[in-house]
Structure 1
Amino acid sequence: MDWNARFEGKAFHYGRSPAAFVRDHMVGLGQGACVLTIAEGEGRNAVWLARQGYHVTAIEPTESGRAKALDLAARHDVKLDWRSESLDGFDWPDGSFDAALGCFFQFAAPGFRSRILAGLGRSVRSGGQVFLHGFSIRQMANSSGGPKIEEQLWTVPLILAAYPGWQVIRAQEYDAVLDEGPGHSGPAALVDVIVRKPD
């Protein structure tokens, strides 16, 4: 997938609004909370998080995504710490964030996904939270987004296995109708996981 080409043009492939999961579950982290968000694409989640008063660090390698995200941030008068880096080989910081978000990073095969999940866990402080939202393996039957590669899709047990001993705040597989631009539109099978790092 050429993500730089996908994000070219004025239209936002996944819309300008945050994922419903982000909007519904990432409120109340506290004014000035430090939040990491990965595979940020065109910036819809990062900008919304910054509008909540959080200090947001966004990881996204595409130049077209960066340009649209920073323009969207300027329109909302917020700042982002945008890092144009690939997650493959990214130097995850230790305990630097109050929360970390991984939303729809369905490009990752199992080994890469495991490294990303571990990195997200490393990046949050003790008592910090990791927020994960993606497509279930049942998404294979839908046409609303995501790859048609089963090993890149999720189950709740698969995601929870990356966080042994962490407090589980939310772990749910469910169906919903997406309306997130042309890239995510229609009935979808989703997975949410929110976990808190032990003190």
Structure 2
Amino acid sequence: MNHWDEKFDSEEYIYGKEANLLVKEIFQKQADNNEKILLLAEGEGRNAIYLAKLGYDITTYDISQVGIHKQYQLASEACVDIDAKYGDITKPNLTSESLFNYSINIFGHVPNEGKKEMFNNLIQPLIIGGHSYFEFYSKEQLVYGTGGPKNEAMLYTI
């Protein structure tokens, strides 16, 4: 069992069932024309379910089988469909190119050696004119001590 399987292995949803505020701010309206969204490091599924309720075709990747199970459980509760897949977001060519209208990574921090491939996995799957959104903690977060990784190599600078 990996770190994330252990973290998610409880009845409660560690980060809650409500979507991230940035996701809710960007995506407020119903989807048009079967728009597709790729979510990397989606964990327990809170953002995926919110977006599926808006009518988006959702594909997620996560490295936690426990998290994926909870994504499907949450989708069932919400009566929506998602395609949750097991995969390491730091490995090359995670998914097909030119397939998604949007890609999202919310707090899916990775070590320095995986950052390039993680960003490639956010960009390569986008159709022409697609958009990518991500939210990460910066290195300055360490002084606040309020959340995010404690390892500076997993944090970001602009």
2-structure distance, mates of 1:88, 1:20: 25
Partner residue in 1 for 2:60: 58
Kindly provide the amino acid, as one letter, of the partner of residue 139 in structure 2. Answer: I
CA contact (8 A) 1:66 1:82 kept: yes
2-structure distance, mates of 1:155, 1:28: 31
Partner residue in 1 for 2:103: 100
Q: How does 1:79-158 map to 2 (within 5 A)?
A: 79-89=81-91, 91-106=94-109, 108-156=110-158
Deviation at residue 26 of structure 1 after TM alignment: 2.6
CA RMSD of aligned residues (A): 1.6
Identity of aligned residues (%): 25
CA contact (8 A) 2:36 2:102 kept: yes
Partner residue in 2 for 1:9: 10
CA contact (8 A) 2:62 2:68 kept: yes
Deviation at residue 55 of structure 1 after TM alignment: 0.1
Deviation at residue 29 of structure 1 after TM alignment: 7.3
What SS is found at the alignment partner of 1:79? coil
Runs of 4+ in 1 over 4 A off after TM superposition: none
What SS is found at the alignment partner of 1:137? coil
CA contact (8 A) 1:92 1:120 kept: no
Deviation at residue 93 of structure 1 after TM alignment: 1.4
Pair 26,66 (structure 1): closer, same or farther in 2 beyond 3 Å: same
What SS is found at the alignment partner of 1:116? helix
Unaligned 5+ runs, structure 1 = 157-199
Pair 29,141 (structure 1): closer, same or farther in 2 beyond 3 Å: farther
Unaligned 5+ runs, structure 2 = none
TM-score by length of 2: 0.91
What SS is found at the alignment partner of 1:118? helix
CA contact (8 A) 2:87 2:94 kept: no
Partner residue in 1 for 2:27: 26
Deviation at residue 86 of structure 1 after TM alignment: 2.0
Deviation at residue 143 of structure 1 after TM alignment: 2.8
Q: How does 1:178-197 map to 2 (within 5 A)?
A: none
Partner residue in 2 for 1:68: 70
TM-score by length of 1: 0.73
How many residue pairs are counted as aligned between the two chains? Answer: 155
